[in-house]
Amino acid sequence: MSKSFGFDLDNTLIDYSGAVKEFCRMNYLPPCNNIGMLKAMLRKFSNSDYDWQLAQSWLYTSGLEFAQLGVGSIDLISYLSKEGYQLYIVSHKTSHTPKFCGQIPLHDLAINWIRKSGLSDYFQDQQRIYFEPTRESKVRIIRNLSLDYFVDDLEEVFEEPNFPSHTKKFLIHKSESQNSTLKCVIDFNSIREILANGF
């Protein structure tokens, strides 16, 4: 029986660091290296999420031009494909940006980026790509697919009460966590090494 592996999309398969740097340059902001830094900085400037939502909407639309594949992602996905894994993308992504950000459709832009990046070679069947409006529905898909492995950049996803206990969890871009059920990895190359050693 083949194994299955699921991937988050934003800030996991898609590395937005180049887009974040461009956003800061365009808006005369102190430079930030990643989405987390930008989000924290904008929330310091304002108690509301307005500025962050504007920034996030740009990153997920125009900013995709400056985004790249996560380090080691294609090598890992190619390895998993050759090993016979069933591969899925399960993303928490609303259908459009907020109204005050122009209600730009997000799913088509993400699919186009996936095609241009080369990921579509491994996810040609769009039934293997899920965009879910809430974190809860994202976790429900992971559970319904009965995924053996899942990688995400947000620890909160794994802490959802309905996250399946049998799914082995990779928390990417992190070096440590209080949650002992998580494997913290810096990039996708680390995941391949762990799988090769029998995780």
Give me the residues paired with residue 140 across strands.
none
Q: Which residue bears the tokens 């509301």?
A: 48
pLDDT at 151: 98
pLDDT at 158: 97
Q: Decide if pLDDT at 1 tops 80.
A: no
pLDDT at 47: 79
Which percentage of the chain shows pLDDT scores above 70? 99
Other CB atoms within 10 A of residue 152 CB: 27
Q: Are 55 and 23 in contact (CB under 8 A)?
A: yes
Q: Decide if pLDDT at 124 tops 80.
A: no
Q: Is the Cα torsion angle 14, 185, 49, 26 positive or negative in sign?
A: negative
Q: Decide if pLDDT at 81 tops 80.
A: yes
Q: Which amino acid is at 197?
A: N
pLDDT at 50: 93
Q: Decide if pLDDT at 17 tops 90.
A: yes
Element housing 41 (H / E):
helix 35-45
Q: Decide if pLDDT at 126 tops 80.
A: no
The CA distance from 34 to 12, in Å, is 12
Q: Are 137 and 157 in contact (CB under 8 A)?
A: no
- pTM over 0.85, yes/no: yes
pLDDT band of 97, cuts 50, 70, 90: very high
pLDDT at 199: 78
Share the mean pLDDT of the chain.
94
DSSP 3-31: -EEEE-TBTTTEE-HHHHHHHHHHTTPPP
> What's the mean pLDDT in 107-130?
92
Domains of the chain: 4-15+68-196 (3.40.50.1000), 17-66 (no CATH)
pLDDT band of 174, cuts 50, 70, 90: confident
